[in-house]
Structure 1
Amino acid sequence: MGFSDKHLSDDEQVIFHLHTHIKALIVPVLVLLVLAAGVGFGLGALPDDELIGTIGRWALVIVGVVVLFVWVIWPFLTWLTTTYTITSERLVTRKGIITRTGRDIPLRVINDVAYEMQLNDRVLRCGTLVVSAASEQGQVRLDDVPRVQQVQLKLSELVREAHDEDERA
């Protein structure tokens, strides 16, 4: 699922198109494994013939479906629909499952690009990209950016080029 060419201007090129880091799916995968084992064990342990077994099975399945949706499917959809795109002219963020939120920041209005990495981020090679722009919103924090150092370096380079073009014009 790349960034569509219809959203690009004539000479604009996509440099990076990223989802948030895959670490966002670690907890949902663990929940899925525990949930499958727990529901499977519970369905096998309940008696077959009795009313309590039938009601218990339905209750277990309903609770399992709710937990599956809240702790597995929803986080996966959130990860899938959160994207960061850097083009030759702007920084584009998109997120949201039901309500989509998007933001486009022209590179020429960006003042500073920094990154933050905690210990676990350093191990996983991801981090938070902090973009300071000359706008009402000020700073934009992009969490869990994969290869954040590489992205920060390239974005800084693109910002410098955009500022140089503005000075020449």
Structure 2
Amino acid sequence: MAFPTKLLNDGEHVVVHTRTHAKALIAPVSVLVVLVAAVISLGSITDSTTVGLGAGVVAALVAVWFVVRPVLDWLTTTYTFTNRRFIKRSGLIAKEGRTIPLNRISGVDFEIGVVDRLFGCGTLIVSDASTHGRVLLEDVPQVEQVQLRVAEELHTLASGGPASERVDDGT
């Protein structure tokens, strides 16, 4: 899913656009498998329509809360770095967003735990000059590459813009 170009300003382009690593879906899929197995098992040991209906209602509620909601959260949450700002967007119906101008970002760090290393992801830490101080983006795929690209963009911004726009004065 690409970042909508209608949300970009003139001269702005996307540097990195990503979402949380798919490992975030392991728990919801596991819950779904256990839920289906439980409903099938209960259906095979009882002939009661009332028990089956009650199990179906409980299974549907559990599925909505522990499967559908996390999957929708994963699908609708994106992290985007442009050449001007960082944008975090989430939500399907009720939308939420956070934007930090790149010139207010003071640092971009990453942390990779043991499990994260197995999945090829990690936590990206975006530090800014606001009262909130920093934003943690957990389970970012290829976090080291994302950190390098964002740091390069921050360096480009600090040095006066892209190399193609700077004038070579011969020094």
Alignment TM-score, normalising by the size of structure 1: 0.90
Distance 1:35 1:109 in 2: 46
Deviations 1:76-132 (A, max 9, x none): 011111110111111111123453221111111111110011100111111111111
Query: Is the aligned partner of 1:156 residue 2:155?
Result: no
Identity across aligned pairs (percent)?
Answer: 44
Distance 2:152 2:104 in 1: 14
For 1:76-91, list aligned pairs within 5 A: 76-91=71-86
Consecutive unaligned residues in structure 2, runs of 5 or more: 167-171
Deviations 1:28-56 (A, max 9, x none): 11111111111112112212xxxxx0110
Q: Which residue of 1 aligns with 2:16?
A: 16
Aligned-pair RMSD on alpha carbons? 1.5
For 1:22-33, list aligned pairs within 5 A: 22-33=22-33
Runs of 4+ off more than 6 Å: none
Distance 2:147 2:118 in 1: 18
Residue 17 (structure 1) shift = 1.3
Q: Which residue of 1 aligns with 2:39?
A: 39
Distance 2:33 2:9 in 1: 45
Distance 1:18 1:58 in 2: 41
Distance 2:130 2:159 in 1: 20
Contact 2:16 2:149 survives alignment (8 Å): no
Distance 2:27 2:140 in 1: 18
Deviations 1:130-157 (A, max 9, x none): 1111222211111111110000011001
SS in 2 for 1:91: strand
SS in 2 for 1:9: coil
Letter in 2 for 1:40: I
Distance 1:131 1:19 in 2: 15
Question: Normalized per residue, which structure has more helix?
Answer: 1
Distance 2:61 2:130 in 1: 41
Letter in 2 for 1:44: S
Distance 1:153 1:59 in 2: 52
